[in-house]
Amino acid sequence: MTAAARPSAAALACPTENAVELAGVTYGYDRGPLVLRGIDMAIPRGKVVAIMGGSGCGKTTILRLIGGQLQPQAGRVLVAGQSVPDLDREELFAMRRRIGMLFQFGALFTDLTVFENIAFALREHTNLPDELVRDLVLMKLNAVGLRGTAQLRPAELSGGMARRVALARAIALDPMLVLYDEPFAGLDPISLGVVGQLIRELNDALGITSVVVTHDVYESLKIVDYLYFVSEGRIIAQGTPEEVQASSDPFVRQFVDGAPDGPVPFHYPAPAYADELAAHAR
Amino acid sequence: MLAEGVFDGLRRVGAGAINAVSRLGFAARFFAVVLIHSPAALKRTRLTLREIYFAGVLSLVIIMVSGLFVGMVLGLQGYDTLNKYGAGDSLGIFVGLSLVRELGPVVAGLLFASRAGSAITAEIGLMKTTEQLAAMEMMAVDPLARIVAPRFWGGVISMPLLAALFSMMGVFGAYLVGVRLIGVDSGAFWGNMRAAIGFWPDVTNGII
């Protein structure tokens, strides 16, 4: 086989064209109202895709469905061609070994050092000798620029540093897919730029696929290949960053421009203001 | 009206019973899953040893100090009462039996639950709220095997040892007060205690 014909590592890890596919996915927590109402989504291998929307619109629920933490009430969730809801626990854990996840505030293990946090998955799932684990951990830390923090505790890190360490931990097992849950939340502009850049660079350098759930429009438009906008459990707009910036869709415009009123109203539904104020006079 | 109230009451009793059974079932399932994961957790001795240290070794001070003072109080009050009937020499039996059979395991258990139990609850609660458990699950590591099972066995191993230490310190406290302070005969104190307390029926059963 020639070098040109040889499949890449990413292609071997994810044999299908789309790393993630959602078709008609519906979900509601317990007996509450539906959070997702027929989500269709295709995330191609090797791309950085953002899922955007206001707070409580169901973005994180989509990530949880992809990671198998939740089961859809209807519809299909495929990761690398495998139907996630149909996997038993062992198969699900086998799939998760190929998925990295960055949680909103890092979710680093507070009783372990930075080094031990990143070595955690390597020690749990491989029998690599300590010297090799050490080198691998230092390589991952170096990739996020924090090799010097190896012996620190998570409590000694700033929010941005903790997020970068969590990113290093998410890629510890060289996953084919990385899920980012609000990676930019609560970061200062410098840390925000660093994390955004790392997401893009690691995605391209390691040949992985990235799904970024966020509401940070400015940073997302700089680093992603494609965006989905979710509102009230439905995908209401999608496109490349250029298409999104040129879009005249009212929701997209309100979201991108940060307008206080629009399809997402400023006022929560209530009786007429004048009627309520004059109520005591009647 | 009356019938409605009666039905409401019955409904509440029924709901309470169903809730209680459901919680019992949850606890039983949880216990079973912890047992299933236990061999793997016990194989990784470092994890269990760490929990024995946190649950057991760090509880030593509170257990030993409490044991000493409980024993001293038993010695003082026990002697006072026994001596009224001329049975002051039976202080060793009184203190030994009450500590080894009941007080030691029960009080040590309560102290263990309040110190180590609450520490474990707070630790796991914090891990839950900061998504550490979810992160572990997403890394294909079962938190029940990695977090709960070692803590369970850390407690199971530590608790009897702590109960034994509590009883030992209690007997020592009673010795200090009864023999050294009040003047009960040392030979009678220890001899009567040894004669009355059996290793299997009292010490082992108490600890178990």
**What is the mean pLDDT of the segment spanning A141-162?**
89
Are A211 and A54 spatial neighbours (Cβ–Cβ below 8 Å)?
no
Q: Domain residues of chain B, as ranges? A: 1-43, 45-207
Answer yes or no: do A99 and B138 touch at CB < 8 A: yes
The reported pLDDT for the residue numbered A2 is: 44
Q: Kindly give the residue spans of alpha helices, DSSP state H, lying in A71-174.
A: 89-96, 114-125, 130-143, 159-170
Are B116 and B151 spatial neighbours (Cβ–Cβ below 8 Å)?
no
Residue labelled with tokens 């099972």: B149
Tens digits of per-residue pLDDT, A7-34? Answer: 555 555 666 788 899 998 998 887 778 8
Contacting residues of B for A87, CB less than 8 Å apart: none
Tokens of A134: 């050490």
Q: Which homologous superfamily does the CATH classification assign to the domain defined by A9-260? A: P-loop containing nucleotide triphosphate hydrolases (3.40.50.300)
CA distance to A91, A244, B57, per residue, from B117 (Å)? 34, 53, 14
d(CA B185, CA B46): 47
Are A190 and A155 spatial neighbours (Cβ–Cβ below 8 Å)?
no
Interface probe with A: pick from B127, B139, B141, most Cβ of A within 10 Å: B139
Are A159 and A191 spatial neighbours (Cβ–Cβ below 8 Å)?
yes
Tens digits of per-residue pLDDT, A46-66? Answer: 899 999 887 778 888 999 999
Contacting residues of B for A108, CB less than 8 Å apart: 132
B67, B45, B119, A115 alpha-carbon torsion, rounded to 10°: 140
Are A255 and A217 spatial neighbours (Cβ–Cβ below 8 Å)?
yes
The reported pLDDT for the residue numbered A262 is: 76
Residue A230 sits at φ, ψ, to 5 deg, of -115, 130
Q: Domain residues of chain A, as ranges? A: 9-260
Residue labelled with tokens 């191993």: B157
CA distance to B18, B50, B186, per residue, from B194 (Å)? 50, 36, 12
pTM recorded for the entire structure:
0.79
The reported pLDDT for the residue numbered A4 is: 46
Interface of B to A at Cβ within 8 Å reads 123, 126-127, 130-132, 134-142, 146
Q: Which residues pair with A78 in a beta bridge?
A: A21, A83
Taking alpha carbons only, the member of A202, A181, A79, A256 closest to residue B131 is A181
